[in-house]
Amino acid sequence: MYELRLFAFWLANGTLGLPVLEGVPYLELMGREPSAIEQTMAIFANVLEVDERGQVVNARAAQQRAAQYLRSYCDPSYEVVPPLEDWEVELHAPAV
């Protein structure tokens, strides 16, 4: 899925979720706290919606929610509005 690749690219090169993450040094988490990156990816994937033709209809909204999570992880004073819901942060087991 193109949107997932693009999201991973933005995450890895430091341009994810601008302006929410502007000035937030989240790239430091890459090697140090991989679970934060895993959760960010999970939120993006969980929020994505695909229509009946297989087209993603809300990539920007999914990116925004993931960026809000990552900002709150790096800056505990940042408030995610509206708060993330359980289904957004759910981690799924790998497919067998």
Domain presence at residue 77 = yes
Query: Is-above-0.75 flag for pTM?
Result: yes
Q: Taking CA 18 as the corner, what is the angle to CA 53 and CA 69, rounded to the nearest 5 degrees? A: 80
For residue 5, the model assigns a pLDDT of 95
Domain presence at residue 95 = no
Tell me the pLDDT tens digit for each residue of 27-83.
988 889 999 999 999 999 999 999 999 999 999 999 999 999 999 999 999 999 999
Residue 56 DSSP code: B
* Domain range enclosing 58: 2-89
Domain presence at residue 18 = yes
- Give the Cβ contact number of residue 67 at 10 Å: 25
C-alpha 39/C-alpha 80 separation (Å) is 15
C-alpha 58/C-alpha 89 separation (Å) is 17
